[in-house]
Structure formats: C-alpha cells, structure tokens
Amino acid sequence: MSSKPRIVITGLGLTAPNGNSLGEFRANLLAGKARIAVIDVRHMGKHPAGVCDFDATKWQKRKEIRNGTRVGSISIYCSREALGDSGLEWDKVDKSRVGVYLGITEHGNVETENEIHNISQFGNDTKYWTHHHNPRTVANNPAGEVTMNMGITGPHYTIGAACAAGNAGLIQAAQMLQLGEVDVAFAGGVSESIHTFGIFAGFKNQGALGAHEDPTKASRPFDKNRNGIVISEGGAIYVLERLDDALARGARIIAEIAGWCINSDATDAVLPNPERQTECVRMALQRAGMKPQDIQIVSTHATATALGDIQECTALRTVFTDCPDTKINNTKSFIGHCMGAAGALELAGNLPSFEDNWVHPTINIEELDPECAMPGLVINQPVKVAKVEAILNNSFGMLGINSALIVKKYGVA
Amino acid sequence: MTKDDIKQVVLDIIADIAPDEDLTAVKPEVRLRDQLSLDSMDFLDIVMELRKKHGIEVPEADYVQLASLDSCANYLLPKFEAKGK
C-alpha cells in the first residue's frame, strides 16, 4: 500500500455498555469493570445484555429520536463526539467531501418486530403499520441519520458484514479516502441488536446464548465453562483522513491504519474456519509490511462460544509462533458482543495503549480452557509492556466473513 | 365531546409526535404548519393516532381538514359523535 495515501485516525466517539467516552471506557477496561444488565426480552423473558446509557438528547431533538431508530441515535452520538474529538472546524469543512461508512451486523429487525407486535394489538390489520417503517428499516438508515443530523452531503451507506462489520466500516472508509472519493470519513460500526428478540432466540436455539447468575460474568471468552454470547448494543465511530490533510491542519493523530484484509470462509454459515482466519491475518500483516513479531496487541474476536473461541485460538497460534512480546486480549468479556459495533469498539479500547503501554485483559476467566491457552493471553489483570506500536484487531462473522485490521502508532516506521 | 375537547385530543397527539414544540400558545384559527414545525409525516402520525386511540378514520382526501385546530374540531366532531363520544 506504499504508493497509496496513508490514512490516519484523528477522532473517535463511542458508546459502550461500560462507557460513553473513550476515557470512561478505557478506565473500566483497565479496572476490570464489566457492565452487563439484565433486560426483559420480548417473548423470551430476562437475559443478560449490554445496554448503553448515553444521552441521545445531547445531539438530537426529541422528535428526531422519536422518528428515527435506536441505532440512528447511537450513530449520531458517536459521530458528533468523534467530530468534537477530531478538532475539525466543522463550519469550514466542505460537507460534500465528507463520507459516512458504518458497519452493521443487521438492520431493520428491531422496527419490523415492533410493528408486527403493534399490529397484533389491532387484529393484524396492516392499516395500523407505521408509515415510518421504510425510512427506519432501509439498510442505510444509521448512516443516513448521521448525514441529516450533521448536514453531510457526501456519500453515506452502511456495510453489512455480520460481526466483522466494525472493521469493515473502517476499511471501507480508508479505501474511499485512498481513492479520493472523500476528504473526511466518519466510519466504524454500530448496533441496536438488544432490541430485537430474534437475535436472542436465534442464538439460544443455536445453543450459543450466554447465561450466568451474575450478568457481568455471563460473557467469558476462553473460560472452560463459557456458554455463549451476551448480546449488546453500542457504537464506535472514527474520523479518518489522509495523513497529508491531517498534518496540514495540525490534527492530533491517534493512530495510522497500517493494513487490513477481509476474506471469506466459503465453508459454513455459522462455524468459523481457522484456515481462512489464518490467511486473513497473514494477508493483513503482509499488506502492512509487518511480521507477527511486530504486533504487540492482538484484540481477539472471541465471543465465548464453545467452538468459535477454539477456532480463533487455533488461527492465532498458527500465526503468532515465537512472538514473546505479543499480548492477546478480549473486550467482549467486559461489554458482551456489540455485534456491528464490536470490532470498532474493541479497537477503540486498545488504542490508548499506544500512549500508556498498558494492555487490558480478558476477564471472567475462572478456569482457562486448555484449548484456548495461548502464550501472551492477558488474563483477568492488565499488564504493562515496554512498548505498543501495532495492534491487530480481529473481527469475524456469520457466512464466513473474516476481517483483520492493523493500526500502528503514528510516527513508527 | 365538545370542540374544545377535540382540540385538546389533537394537541395531546401533537405533544407526543412533536415533543420539542411549545404548545401553550397554539392559535386555533391558524394553520398548524404555520406555527409549529410539522411535516407531512407528522400529519400522517396524527391520522394514525386518531385511528389507534379513537377509532377515527380520516380519508386521504380529507387530510386538508386537519390544517388548524379549528378545522380539526369542525371536521372531527361529527366523527366523534358517531362513535358515541
């Protein structure tokens, strides 16, 4: 990628179940604080879930909130916070040169379920079906809500990439910046999935829905007694720019996008394929011009399913042999699986490591599954390392989509 | 049900669908669109809420009758009376 423009991160806004800013999120990751609630899921009763408590009215009128979607509010909050973090003088930015690229696992299920429930109260008469249904459920909804709220007239769309979507949004933005399609991109991943019972029921009937009497311990990747996914909502949206543009305006550069890969298993709808994951990680390293030893932190995708965690560990053990300085962690153990936001949030939680050299752990491991044992796995307590210059962020999803994104500390060769 | 009651019904619906609006000084004779920030989707919301909450149907050809609180009251009164309200 050396002949293409270099892409950097200059802003970040997020909402996670345990934090509505990077500072709060990071502090809780280093302090080992998970935050998982118990919610009443329609038709299914109580289940653990990651719930965000950001103030939507900070950036939206109440009517906007009412007419839009939950994920639209998450997207607007994260984008506005990212803009503030970037230091961009918004009044002077050409809005036709700004793009919005948001990764989503799914979209429209929440509103469709709500309306099916709504008309069931009226004898299933479709004249009671809301006229807001279509603008709420079109697949570009979250990105489109951002453009309307912020007056952005450049391109916007979502990238449907299952649970690899957070990385995919960032990759799409980097590509569009390299192509010169836009000058500024708001990109990342978002999810409102806790508001649809279908995703809970689907995972439960697949034997992959996490449970524990203490909800904060329900998400426990790599633990021998893990029993599935904790579904969460959330969002993380970044401001991306070409390096030259960022330098010209004197921006604070948070990190540089170093390399990436998205590939496909082409084997099974739900079961991951460690060979393809291995190829994905290796290709990202090759494109970044790096060796495995150049990575100090691997942010795993592991969701706490019985097989998925083992498959990812198999892939990582294959790539990261003889890498004594590579640490491996997992953020879902704190916040559950934020679906479309997962990859983007998990990357965000690790970015401060470039400055403080701390690596947050994976928590909730009472008994490490021997099949998930890896040198470098940071268990239950954060560790301080000599340096962090490159982070590999894994994010995988159904239908066999794999994504690996590498970011590096700016200024490192 | 009086015309004033019907005006309050409409105002209560607007309070739900346009929660940012100040409804304390809405002039009944002035078009709602001229004094509140309401768009066509909002008027469809008013139609939907009349249907859901009160069983009142407003055909598309009659949407113009919902222009002001006064016109709402004049148009909706016989419909509420027909419902025995």
What digits encode the pLDDT tens for the residues A349-408?
Answer: 999 999 999 999 999 999 999 999 999 999 999 999 999 999 999 999 999 999 999 999
Q: pLDDT digits over B32-80, tens only?
A: 999 999 999 999 999 999 999 999 999 999 999 999 999 999 999 999 9
Rounded to the nearest angstrom, the minimum Cα separation between A282 and chain B is 51
* Whole-Å CA distances, A307 to A193, A241, A274, A302, A303: 23, 38, 11, 10, 10
CA distance A383 to A362: 11
Q: Of A248, A274, A293, which residue constitutes the final position of a domain?
A: A248
pLDDT at A2 over 70: no
Task: Assess if residue A381 is contained within a domain.
Answer: yes
When pLDDT is averaged across residues B4-21 and rounded to a whole number, the result is 97
pLDDT at A345 over 60: yes
pTM above 0.95, yes or no: yes
Clarify whether residues A233 and A301 are in a common domain: no
Rounded to the nearest angstrom, the minimum Cα separation between B44 and chain A is 7
Q: Which two tokens stand for residue A84?
A: 């503030």
User: Domain ranges in chain B?
Assistant: 3-82
Tell me what pLDDT residue A126 has.
Answer: 98
Contact A245, A252 (CB under 8 A): no
CA distance A305 to A288: 30
Clarify whether residues A243 and A263 are in a common domain: no
Mutate which of B42, B46, B48 to disrupt the A interface (most A C-beta within 10 Å)?
Answer: B48
Q: Of A190, A220, A248, which residue constitutes the final position of a domain?
A: A248
Residue (of A300, A306, A282) closest to A292 by Cα position: A282
| CATH classification number, B3-82, choose in 3.40.50.300, 2.60.40.2140, 1.10.1200.10, 3.30.300.180 | 1.10.1200.10
Q: pLDDT digits over A312-328, tens only?
A: 999 999 999 999 999 99
Domain coverage including residue A164? 7-248
Report the domain count for chain A: 2
Tell me what pLDDT residue A137 has.
Answer: 98
Tell me what pLDDT residue A3 has.
Answer: 83
Residue A68: count of CB within 10 angstroms of its CB? 23
Mean pLDDT of chain A: 97
Mutate which of A57, A60, A67, A115 to disrupt the B interface (most B C-beta within 10 Å)?
Answer: A67
Of B19, B41, B51, the CB nearest to A62: B19
Rounded to the nearest angstrom, the minimum Cα separation between B17 and chain A is 7
Task: Assess if residue A135 is contained within a domain.
Answer: yes
User: pLDDT > 70: what percent of chain A?
Assistant: 100
When pLDDT is averaged across residues B2-25 and rounded to a whole number, the result is 97
Q: Contact B19/A63, CB-based, under 8 Å?
A: yes
User: pLDDT > 90: what percent of chain A?
Assistant: 99
CATH number at residue A265: 3.40.47.10
Task: Assess if residue A253 is contained within a domain.
Answer: no
Task: Assess if residue A297 is contained within a domain.
Answer: yes
Clarify whether residues A229 and A311 are in a common domain: no
Beta bridge partners of A235: A15, A190
Clarify whether residues A215 and A339 are in a common domain: no
Amino acid at A76: I
pLDDT at A1 over 70: no
Residue (of A182, A183, A11) closest to A86 by Cα position: A11
